Amino acid sequence: MAIFIDNDTRLVVQGITGRDGSFHTRQMMEYGTQVVAGVTPGKGGQSFEGPDGKTVPIFNAMDEAVAATGANTSVIYVPPAFASGAILEAADSGISFVVAITEGVPVLDMAMAHAFARDRGVRVLGPNCPGLISPGKSKVGILPAQIVSEGPIGVVSRSGTLTYEAVFQLTSNGLGQTTCVGIGGDPLIGTNFIDCLRAFEADPDTAAVVMIGEIGGTDEQEAAQFVTDHMSKPVVGFIAGQTAPPGRRMGHAGAIISGSAGTAEEKIKAFEDNGITVAQRPADIVGLIRAALA
């Protein structure tokens, strides 16, 4: 088992003919993801050349792609100006899960897109996220496949490379993963920590969860409360940004301490108050997970 994506994931790539879209489509296909369709308006009828001589049909629109291929998931690699439109189109096409990789999508566009997706009961991951990978089953997004391995740990994170750091250490120490999810660093994200924790709790193959947060907002605090209220599985946490100054955006649009709200201190305290053991350094995560599973 895994969460959100697995062997049944049938993926459409929105923006498959773009620079990023085509590169990552090949990567996903090489990993074994079932990429069943691509969408690029105006290029319907053409074919995308994947690795090993495989091809993927291209459609003008999501509804056509879904009707023709029975896709259930999409991933979005289109420029910011068109990204929220692509999410709306995906949410309207009958699929149930949309992964938005694009960085720099206007926040007010996302407010509307999230409302639209909620109206239709469609799960959105991102935007501005690395996607997710269920080792041995499916990869959707840009996470490097070589650092993951199959095993009992669920990983959820707001960050990209920091996740790689954590996952790499897990894998190097023989701790494989059920699913690694990057929820993204934007202020308005579709799938949050709680959504992932709930899914990991329900996934019989996940034995423990690593949750990697950062400064800004209160998602980690609410997730911590959720752990107390609804989780039986151990959770190990890490928070980046203890040295970040207030009021400055630290790369991610969502990584900003507003006044005294959203600091690493309050998040770490919320973790500790709710029984989540907190790694002081990324290097400590493996030890804490081992202790939790012992």
Partner 1 sequence: MDIHEYQAKERFRAAGIPVPPGEIATTPDEAYAIASKYGGMVVVKAQVHAGGRGKAGGVKLAKDATEAREHAGNILGMEIKGLTVEKVLVTPAEDIQTEAYVGVLVDRNNQAATFMVSAEGGVDIEAVAAETPHLIRKLVVDPRYGILPHQGLWLANYLYDDPGLIKQAAKIITQLYHAFIDAGASMAEINPLVTTPSGEVKAIDAKMSIDDSELFRRPDVAAMRDSSGEPASEIKAREANLSYVKLDGNVGCCVNGAGLAMATMDLVKYYGGEPANFLDIGGSSNPDKVVAALEIITSDPKVKSILFNIFGGITRCDDVANGIVEATKRIDIKPPIVIRLTGTNEEVALEILKNAGFDAYTSMDAVVEKAVALAGAN
Cβ closest to partner 1, residue 1 vs residue 81: 81
Q: Which residue type is seen at 272?
A: E
Given candidates 258, 272, 275, 291, which one binds partner 1 under the rule CB under 8 A? 258
Beta bridge partners of 177: 153
- H-helix or E-strand spanning residue 10: strand 10-14
Cα separations (Å) of 10 from 36, 68, 154? Answer: 6, 12, 22
Which residues ranging from 79 to 118 are in contact with partner 1 (CB under 8 A)? Answer: 80-82, 85-86, 88-89, 92, 104-108, 110-112, 114-116
Cross-strand partners of 59: 39
Least CB distance to partner 1 at residue 62 (A): 7
Candidate ranges 180-188, 202-210, 229-237, 270-278; the one touching partner 1 (CB under 8 A): 180-188
Nearer residue to partner 1 within complex by CB, 89 or 203: 89
**257 near partner 1 (CB under 8 A):** no
Q: With binding defined as CB under 8 A, does residue 225 bind partner 1?
A: no
Of residues 73 and 157, the one with the C-beta less far from partner 1: 157
Nearer to partner 1, 104 or 275 (CB): 104
Do residues 28 and 90 lie in contact, with contact meaning Cβ atoms separated by under 8 Å? no
State the CB neighbour count (10 A cutoff) for residue 265. Answer: 13
Query: In angstroms, how far is the first alpha carbon of the chain from the final one?
Result: 22
Residue 218 interacts with partner 1 (CB under 8 A)? yes
Identify whether 252 is a catalytic site residue: yes
The CB-of-232 to partner 1 minimum distance in angstroms stands at: 26
Assess 217 for contact with partner 1 (CB under 8 A): yes
User: What is the C-alpha to C-alpha distance for residues 178 and 189, in angstroms, rounded to an integer?
Assistant: 22
175 counts as binding partner 1 under rule CB under 8 A? no
For the CA atoms of the chain, what is the radius of gyration? 19
- Kindly state the smallest distance separating residue 44's Cβ from partner 1, in Å: 8
Of 148-167, binders to partner 1 (CB under 8 A) are 157-165
Q: Are strands 47-49 and 55-59 parallel, antiparallel or unpaired?
A: antiparallel
Number of Cα atoms under 13 Å in the Cβ half of residue 28: 35
Is 138 in a helix, a strand, or coil?
A: strand
Pick the closer one to partner 1 by CB: 205 or 222: 222
Residues 40-79 that bind partner 1 (CB under 8 A): 41-43, 60-63
Size of the site for partner 1 (CB under 8 A): 79
Least separation in angstroms between CB 45 and partner 1: 9
User: Considering only residues 13, 235, 250, 292, which one is a binding residue for partner 1 as defined by CB under 8 A?
Assistant: 250
What interhelical angle do 161-172 and 285-293 show, nearest 10?
50
3-class state of residue 49 by DSSP:
strand
Using alpha carbons, select from 288, 266, 290 the residue that is nearest to residue 277. 288
- Which residues are the active-site residues? 252
